[in-house]
Structure 1
Amino acid sequence: MSVTKVFLTGATGYVGRPTVAALLRHGYTVTALARSEHSARTLSDLGAEPVRGTLTDTAVLREAASRADGVIHLGSDPGPGGDEVDRAAAEALLDGVGAGPYVHTGGAWVYGDTDGVVDEDAPQKPPALTAWRRANEDLVLARATTGGHPVLVMPGVVYGHGAGLIEMFYTAPARERGAAPVIGDGRNHWGVVHVDDIAELYALALGAPAGAVYVGVSEESPTQADVAAAAAQAAGHPGRTESLTLEAGLERMGPIAEAFALDQRMTSARARRDTGWQPRHVDDVLTEIARPTPA
């Protein structure tokens, strides 16, 4: 099936904007969900055609997907019941796009501590924050057995352009408190990926086989302590980090602290082999994170 028109959710978000750009570079026509007039204007400026609605408007999602050749689901609902919103949205999008490719967003944290370098076949041991994902992902991937074309992309910690989770939970607190937090001794490794690189993988995943699952990480796995030190430098406090117990981290950051404390080393060899993905930001993770960001 030839894919020329792609519908996105979450297109104005941190990962969504570069994904729109990647799709346009690849020659796709892009339509995208817009929950407000401001979002609609942003999408138009990015070069995408806005479709007004929210993730809970399943009829809108189904109709928009039916008018596209492929779908990428990047949107999420951070509120209570977000897992149910994600599931209902995924089902509506899958129903709408039919046999066309549907790319669903997962996350590498579901693998828990990896005990060395692992790939997509590793057992899952998710922290509480992401334990809900497996049921939704199983439902999505099951569509491959009934004529659908689901693909699952599982990003690591996304960084780049002075934004994302590292900015929110490490750089910004360092700017405010004079030191970046480190949960535990900080020797745990993170699977990371630059936002522009993961956007490219989403675009390439439209051509992946039905049922494919791809971890999206660079081959560099910095330690949490190194990330925190780089974040402190970006905040104008080089070398200043603050050690927190997991309990203190949970109190300050919420349940995401458990995910930041995971020790993960992963390979994206499968994505590279199947899709031709070639991440460009492969050896400059800490340099990018350490780049000064405005207050």
Structure 2
Amino acid sequence: MPKIFLTGATGYIGGAVLTRLLEHPLQRTFEITVLVRSSEKVSLFNRTVGKKHNLRAVLGSYSDLDLLKELSAEADVVFACADADDLAAAKAILNGIHDKYSDNGVAPILIHTSGTGVLSDSSDGMYPSSTIYSDLNISQLETLSPDQPHRNVDLTLVQADSKGYVKTYIILPSTIYGFASGPLVENGLQNPRSQQIPRLVDVGLARGQGGMVGKGKNWWGNVHIDDVADLYLRVFDLLTEASPPPDFAHGRAGFYFGENGEHTLYAVGEAIAKVLSDMGKGSPTPMTFSDREIRLYFPNGTSLGSNSRCRAERGYNIGWRPSRKTQDMLASVKAEVEASLSQ
């Protein structure tokens, strides 16, 4: 039975990936271990999901490096769906994987969550970028600075793959939208909402007006949560195919963008402004966040004004078929506003 270790099970992405694994036709052949920070949710996982599936929840977090190493050393496949920027945690996972490889000489699989924030610039919403990255153009990706968001972890994984003891597949979602669904959400185990659009919605509600950084001229890709979860599972399923597609790569070439359309920040701000205006809050035209508002609502800084443009060509070439597009993302704004108001 293949042993799977997954982090981020209660999160938006990790929970969606875990739901796909629990629905998988071969699920009865899996042994799944998930790392969960809350003792209450550990108990709930083991009482509900664990009884129906071959799953155990273990109490711990990315701060528990010895535990990360131990659980990774037990796994054939690791899904890392928690903090994309925690280098110490990534190294602990790799150390565990190295121990597994030393035992049997078979390189385990690491499917790691990064993000297209690695492509971001400093445009502050003032201009679009003409640079569009392809996940098939490895030489272009290798021009990215090691100082870019997520990049130090990504490079560490690629280096580990080059040593032969692990096969790394790095998935880089763009702006994810939509509500996660399924038994984990229904049982209160998984966060059902994304970050970027709900954050803009909450700021719009707080200031009584939809807005954007600068002029909102910057571009980002977007992808629905169900579609990006399908990308993880497409990579997973291809691991056992005798003749996978030529572009199913790991290591240096193993980058997979999650994208199925792109949008300007102005378009998102306008969609929020229109919904709020229909409720009697502000103008239907989005208004730029002031410097004071940026400091107030985004105290740790924000990449919302950056450009992050990409094309998910590798995913498409390996058979990933996302169905939701930018118009679906913009249409989802109303439900996000309603969800924020109901909290």
How would you bin the TM-score normalised by the shorter chain? 0.7 to 0.9
Change in CA separation of 1:107 and 1:178 when aligned onto 2, cut-off 3 Å: same
Q: TM-score, normalised by structure 2?
A: 0.73
Is residue 134 of structure 2 the alignment partner of residue 119 of structure 1? yes
Report the Cα distance in structure 2 between the residues aligned to 1:154 and 1:143, rounded to whole angstroms. 18
Change in CA separation of 1:174 and 1:251 when aligned onto 2, cut-off 3 Å: closer
User: Could you say which residue in structure 2 is the equivalent of 1:193?
Assistant: 223
Pick from 34, 48, 51: which aligns with 2:58? 51
Report the Cα distance in structure 2 between the residues aligned to 1:234 and 1:15, rounded to whole angstroms. 27
CA contact (8 A) 2:6 2:34 kept: yes
Post-superposition Cα deviations, 1:147-202, rounded to whole Å, max 9, x if no partner, equal 21111111111111272223442111222221122111112111111112112212
User: Could you say which residue in structure 1 is the equivalent of 2:262?
Assistant: 221
Post-superposition Cα deviations, 1:54-80, rounded to whole Å, max 9, x if no partner, equal 212222222222332201101128xxx
Question: How big is the shift at 1:115?
Answer: 1.8
Is residue 250 of structure 2 the alignment partner of residue 210 of structure 1? yes
Is residue 206 of structure 2 the alignment partner of residue 176 of structure 1? yes
Q: Which letter does structure 2 place at the counterpart of 1:49?
A: R
How many residues end up aligned between the 2 structures?
284
* 3-state SS, counterpart of residue 112 of structure 2: strand
User: Could you say which residue in structure 2 is the equivalent of 1:36?
Assistant: 38
Question: How big is the shift at 1:232?
Answer: 3.6
User: Could you say which residue in structure 2 is the equivalent of 1:279?
Assistant: 322
Change in CA separation of 1:233 and 1:37 when aligned onto 2, cut-off 3 Å: farther
Question: How big is the shift at 1:97?
Answer: 5.2
Question: How big is the shift at 1:240?
Answer: 5.1
CA contact (8 A) 2:68 2:89 kept: no
Pick from 164, 168, 174: which aligns with 1:156? 174
Is residue 338 of structure 2 the alignment partner of residue 293 of structure 1? yes
Post-superposition Cα deviations, 1:244-286, rounded to whole Å, max 9, x if no partner, equal 25785355313542x2111233110111212x21112124111
Q: Which letter does structure 2 place at the counterpart of 1:60?
A: L
Question: How big is the shift at 1:87?
Answer: 3.5
Change in CA separation of 1:97 and 1:241 when aligned onto 2, cut-off 3 Å: farther
Is residue 154 of structure 2 the alignment partner of residue 137 of structure 1? yes
Pick from 47, 71, 76: which aligns with 2:83? 76
User: Could you say which residue in structure 2 is the equivalent of 1:263?
Assistant: 307
Q: Which letter does structure 2 place at the counterpart of 1:85?
A: A
CA contact (8 A) 1:90 1:140 kept: no
Q: Which letter does structure 1 place at the counterpart of 2:272?
A: A
Pick from 2, 5, 12: which aligns with 1:7? 5
User: Could you say which residue in structure 1 is the equivalent of 2:186?
Assistant: none
Pick from 87, 92, 101: which aligns with 2:90? 87
Report the Cα distance in structure 2 between the residues aligned to 1:125 and 1:250, rounded to whole angstroms. 28
CA contact (8 A) 1:61 1:96 kept: no
Aligned-pair RMSD on alpha carbons? 2.8
Question: How big is the shift at 1:233?
Answer: 4.5
CA contact (8 A) 1:159 1:289 kept: no
Report the Cα distance in structure 2 between the residues aligned to 1:180 and 1:96, rounded to whole angstroms. 51
CA contact (8 A) 1:184 1:246 kept: no
Task: Flag structure 2 segments of 5+ consecutive residues without an equivalent.
Answer: 102-106, 122-128, 180-191, 240-247
CA contact (8 A) 1:70 1:101 kept: yes
Change in CA separation of 1:93 and 1:232 when aligned onto 2, cut-off 3 Å: farther
Q: Which letter does structure 2 place at the counterpart of 1:209?
A: A
Change in CA separation of 1:115 and 1:75 when aligned onto 2, cut-off 3 Å: same
CA contact (8 A) 2:16 2:226 kept: yes
Question: How big is the shift at 1:4?
Answer: 3.4
* 3-state SS, counterpart of residue 136 of structure 1: helix
Post-superposition Cα deviations, 1:92-138, rounded to whole Å, max 9, x if no partner, equal 45335531210112111111245243213335557x9x735222211
Q: Which letter does structure 2 place at the counterpart of 1:135?
A: N
Q: Which letter does structure 1 place at the counterpart of 2:259?
A: V
Change in CA separation of 1:284 and 1:181 when aligned onto 2, cut-off 3 Å: same
Question: How big is the shift at 1:39?
Answer: 2.5
CA contact (8 A) 2:217 2:264 kept: yes
Report the Cα distance in structure 1 between the residues aligned to 2:60 and 2:209, rounded to whole angstroms. 41
Report the Cα distance in structure 2 between the residues aligned to 1:132 and 1:176, rounded to whole angstroms. 28
Q: Which has the larger radius of gyration?
A: 2
The answer to which of 84-93 and 65-74 deviates more is 84-93
